Amino acid sequence: MFLAQGTGQVTAYKPGERVSYLVHYGVVTGGTASLEIKKETLNGKDVWHSVLVGRTTGFADAVFKVVDIYESYIDPKTELPVLSVRNISEGRYRRYNEVTFDHKTRKDSAILSSDLTGIHITQQGIHDILSCFYWYRNRIFPDIDKIKKGETITVLTWFTDELYPIKMRYMGTEEVRTKAGKLRCHKFNPVTETGRLFKSEEDVSFWFSDDKNFLPVKIRFDIFVGSFMVDMVDYEGLVYPIDIKKK
């Protein structure tokens, strides 16, 4: 397992960054997604507010309408979440959950307060599902040259009101094609649980740009019914130029 030594200085991303994606199954487009981060104020304190929105479009929207929204309010000094929001609408299923994170009251642990399940005591430095990936980009990926192929990096998160470790196995670099063009990327395979959706632990792949942004540009989900792709189509507000080859 690789352990990164973070500096506490944010350099890989900044407020104003916004990325747009298409979700497709083969040549059929089934949805869109967007990920952005912006400056806001929460309870009188400056925070960085990240929002991920995924929704179905076209025929998929008519058959099974999905609008999933994840929000993370992040302390820009620590890059840890102070409030997490999960707002799920999938067909007739609805789920809304807010979790506040207290990283300061206790020196040896964090206090989480969920509007659904009450108070939870967890280890210090816990993330939510969104802040986790910003942490990877800024605290871990800058040391990518020290990570060996096949090595696994773990960050503990709180997701769906339970502890959920995000384990990312480094698979090396490769050039990938997205809807926005081709670019060189670092590939990671999150270690997934086998069973209802996934046949193996490596049925999900993430690609992050091979530059100082470490921008998430492509995701592949291999499930029992086939492969779903999430491809970047547009981006703005990046800290550094991105070396992308247009079609």
Domain boundaries, the chain: 18-236
pLDDT digits (tens, 9 = 90+) for 180-234: 999 999 999 987 655 444 455 567 899 999 999 999 999 988 765 567 899 999 9
pLDDT of 10 > 60? The answer is: yes
Residue tagged 């799920």 (tokens): 88
Per-residue pLDDT, 127 = 98
pLDDT of 56 > 90? The answer is: yes
pLDDT of 243 > 70? The answer is: yes
The total of other beta-carbon atoms located within 10 Å of residue 22's CB is 19
Alpha-carbon distance of 51 to 73, in angstroms, equals 9
Q: What is the mean pLDDT of the chain?
A: 90
Copy the structure tokens of residue 49: 């507010």
Pick from 232, 165, 170, 244: nearest CA to 205: 170
Phi, psi dihedral angles at 131 (to 5 degrees)? -60, -30
Pick from 119, 121, 205: nearest CA to 169: 205
End-to-end CA distance of the chain: 38
- Note whether 1 and 210 are within 8 A (CB): no
- Note whether 109 and 121 are within 8 A (CB): yes
Collapsing DSSP to helix, strand or coil, 61 comes out as helix
- Residue 105, burial from CB neighbour count under 10 angstroms (0-12, 13-18, 19+): exposed
- When pLDDT is cut at 50, 70 and 90, the band that residue 245 belongs to is confident
